[in-house]
Amino acid sequence: MTLDAFLDFHSELLLLLEFAVALRKRRKVEALFSELKNLIGLRRLRLRRIKFVREQFYLAAVAQNLKRLVRFLNMRAQPAMATA
Do 1 and 33 lie in one domain? The reply is: yes
Q: Measured between alpha carbons, how far apart are the two ends of the chain, in Å? A: 62
Q: Residue 43: what residue type?
A: R
Residues 2, 19: one domain?
Answer: yes
What mean pLDDT is reported for the chain? 84
One domain, residues 34 and 49:
no
Q: Which amino acid is at 28?
A: K
Query: Which pLDDT tens digit goes with each residue over 13-46?
Result: 777 878 788 888 988 999 988 988 888 888 887 7
Give the chain's domain count: 2
Domain co-membership, 4 together with 34: yes
Give the model's pLDDT for residue 1: 65
Q: 48 and 26 share a domain?
A: no
Do 8 and 29 sit in the same domain of this protein? yes
Q: Are residues 49 and 82 in the same domain?
A: yes
Residues 33 and 54 in one domain: no
- The CA R_g of the chain, rounded to the nearest whole Å, is 22
Higher pLDDT, 72 or 5: 72
Q: Tell whether the model's pLDDT for residue 69 goes beyond 90.
A: yes
Quick one: pLDDT band at residue 83, thresholds 50, 70, 90? low
Can you tell me the mean pLDDT for 54-70? 91
> CA nearest 41: which of 21, 57, 25?
57
